[in-house]
Amino acid sequence: MDNEIQLISDGDGLAVIGSATDVEHFLTSEGLVSKDLGLNRLKSVAEAGSAVAQAGSDIAASSGRWVKLTPESARAIKKYGLRENSKTGLSTGVVKGPKGQIRGFVEFAKSPGALLTNPAALAGAAGIMTQFVMQQSMDEITEYLATIDAKVDDVLRAQKDAALSRVIGVGFILGEAMTLRAVRKRVDEVTWSKVQGVPATIAETQAYALRQLDALAEKLELKSDIGELATAAKEAESVVREWLAVLARSFQLQDAFAVLELDRVLDASPDELDGHRLGLKAARQDRLELIARCTERLLARMNAVAETANAKVLLHPTRSPAAVQSSNHIASGVHDFNVRLGIESGHQSSDARRWMDAATEAKDKALDTGSKGVDAAKSLGNETLSRAHSIKGRLSSGLAELTRSRHEKNEEGAEEGLSER
């Protein structure tokens, strides 16, 4: 595999495999940050396939690094045009260049010793990449819990549901198993027997946390009085933060179990690893979508609270801004939670309308309405005046005509009196 880099992408990360020098040159030229892939774990798996001796020796001599796919790193490797396998969901290719100078074109592995031509080794590499994604998510959740200073165990102990308190013990069991895995580089039968029963407890805790968040959203939805709404929103701030922490911890434990599970399958049934990996990824995505629907409902409720409060700020100049502020705190916390779990979030804070702004707007509307009223009054007055002048003219004409008519009659009467005499 002189001067060639084998690339494997599963949509979440990129495995870069080759000689240590070539791999380092490739990563440096592309500006990619990486972690050790731990290829030595694949040696026994590769030797179970074809070209036994060469496959094992090639992997032993190779260096493997893992790169998390971000928009930047995805653009950096897009130019290499990897081909996707519809069965495995993996995109693969080989980048070649003379004297270690990697160039931007892809060929596809033909040599029997290449890792990409060994199905078992390729499945093993993909399984390790899936573990990397889950472990990175676990690390980010640990940072998230530290950032919000959430005492998850205290929240769980305060609940009456027995399953919630049991999940504290589950965390200890999985932590011990992960330590043994790190030391032994595998999950043996004894370690696996200790953790087999934990998924049900974790799932119960996650479901309970989701129900609590849904109940909070419904409670806020029922509030119409601005005072009650502000109080309920303020109380919800700490409660939402606590249940998001429980939700994050349960998701972290599920990822830890999945990492152990992949290692166990890799050790006990390597030929089933690829199907198992795809099944775990699908199940994990389903959990993320379930959580996303719950947090979306909560965000929608927070937006509605802010809109209601802003609409009533003129009548409630203190309560309304407080409700908006609580709504924004909750929405911001949900957004941070979503980011840590890799859920897209379209959070946008709602600025509290200041009483003066609302009053100014109300005044402007009143002035606008008054201005229109004045214009209408002026128009009506002008029209009335015009009509009055018209009537006055008609009355003047009528009076003049009547006076003239009476004058003529008087003259005629005088003439008749003279003639009689």
80 neighbors 106 (Cβ within 8 angstroms): yes
The count of other CB atoms within 10 Å of the CB of residue 237 is: 15
Residue spans per domain, the chain? 4-120, 150-353, 356-421
End-to-end CA distance of the chain: 154
CA angle, residues 162, 342, 65, in degrees to nearest 5? 110
pLDDT of the residue at 366: 44
Maximum Cα–Cα distance across the chain: 163
Q: How far apart are CA 165 and CA 239, in angstroms?
A: 18
Q: How far apart are CA 315 and CA 317, in angstroms?
A: 6
pLDDT of the residue at 209: 93
Per the structure block, which two tokens stand in for 150?
């959430």
Q: How far apart are CA 141 and CA 259, in angstroms?
A: 15
Please state whether beta strands 106-107 and 83-84 pair in parallel, antiparallel, or not at all (unpaired): unpaired
Q: Residue ranges of the chain with pLDDT lower than 70?
A: 1-2, 43-61, 97-115, 160, 163, 312-317, 345-421
Residue 42 DSSP class: G
Cα 236 to chain center, whole Å? 20
301 neighbors 220 (Cβ within 8 angstroms): yes
Q: How far apart are CA 5 and CA 391, in angstroms?
A: 102
Per the structure block, which two tokens stand in for 306?
């802010």
Sequence length of the chain is 421
Please state whether beta strands 63-68 and 35-36 pair in parallel, antiparallel, or not at all (unpaired): antiparallel
pLDDT of the residue at 363: 45
SS3 content of the chain, % helix, strand, coil (to 5): 75, 5, 20
The count of other CB atoms within 10 Å of the CB of residue 109 is: 17
pLDDT of the residue at 113: 45
Which helix (H) or strand (E) element contains residue 19? none
The count of other CB atoms within 10 Å of the CB of residue 415 is: 10
pLDDT of the residue at 315: 57
